[in-house]
Amino acid sequence: MHPFLYRILTKSIGAFLNVLHLVAPKKSDALAFQIFCTPRKGKIQLGKIPKVLQTAEKEIHNIADHDIAVYRFPGNGKKILLVHGWESNSKRWKKLLPYLKKAQFDIYAIDAPAHGKSSGTLFTVPLYAEVIAAMIQKFGIQQLIAHSIGGSASIYALHKSNPETVEKAAILGAPSDLDVLISNYARILSLRPRNVRGLTQTFSTRFNVETQLFSSKIFVKSLQIKGFVAHDAHDDVVAFSESEKIIANWKDVTFVPTKKLGHSLHDANLYQQLLSFLKAS
């Protein structure tokens, strides 16, 4: 979408929510939450499997009342789970997969709820974390690579379920604080302070925790596994400072700052560093 049209659309939505909040605050809060949690892209159309996923073994697993798409590329090495981010799907691993295959990893990639070939229309971090935890347990996952909000969901899943099999986790360009995400959302839509308070309370009620406590920098404190965190200084989607919060609280972590890779973090040198981390004893 053209930037000008995007700005008009977001400001129009925000103006509607601001007016609605004056007469029906609960409806406004619920709608703001729904919009926040609804991805607008990332689905894979019926019958159109991306080429990179066509050779995978494909399964559907029902978790949390969602049909979750799983793609497996068998290998003789350790079982590794790939967790994509917002408005994406398992196709995003296209450039990394050759490295993992060559290293003989037994690869499992999943589509998040409301993404790819998985069912659903709404996405939340707790829901994604529930899916991730179930996949770890089902397949005996030993290592994990996650991008963006997939990294946040993975950290929450590891914190909450404390799986015995997982030894290492690599988190790429992930946000830390829910409050920051809400603040960014409110800024994009130009929401009034009363709307932000209502939306924040809606999140607290749905997640059963105060929003300031729903933070990766808090969750990583409980992790006993080795971590690898990469973030680009020029990331225009998730601020570099979000990863700095995470690494400051992870007991055993390797931090790889990058430049000019953007949010996607596709880079041969970074992949080699990631592989070195995963393969090290």
Rg for the chain (alpha carbons), in Å?
19
Residue 190 has pLDDT above 90, yes or no: yes
Neighbours of 74 (CB within 10 A): 12
Q: What is the pLDDT of residues 77-115, one digit of tens each?
A: 999 999 999 999 999 999 999 999 999 999 999 999 999
Distance CA 151, CA 172 (A): 7
Mean pLDDT of 112-141: 98
Rounded distance, CA 153 to CA 124, Å?
Answer: 9
Q: Can you say how many angstroms the Cα of residue 139 is from the centroid of all Cα atoms in its chain?
A: 20
Q: Has residue 181 got a pLDDT over 80? A: yes
- Helices 149-161 and 125-139 pack at an angle, to 10 degrees, of 60
What is the per-residue pLDDT across 244-256, written as a single tens digit (0 to 9) for each? Answer: 999 999 999 999 9
Check whether 257 has a pLDDT greater than 90: yes
Contact in structure between 240 and 233 (CB atoms under 8 Å): yes
Contact between residue 174 and residue 241 where contact means Cβ atoms under 8 Å apart? no
| Residue 238, helix vs strand vs coil | coil
Residue 43 banded pLDDT, cuts 50, 70, 90: very high
Mean pLDDT, to the nearest integer, of 145-164? Answer: 98
pLDDT of residue 245: 99
Give the sign of the dihedral formed by CA 90, CA 156, CA 262, CA 45.
positive
| Cα 238 from chain centre | 11
Q: pLDDT band at 7, cuts 50/70/90?
A: confident
- Comparing 46 with 255, the larger pLDDT belongs to 255
Measured between alpha carbons, how far is residue 243 from residues 74, 125, 229, 248, 257 in Å? 31, 17, 7, 8, 9
Domains and CATH numbers, the chain: 37-41+53-177+215-279 (3.40.50.1820)
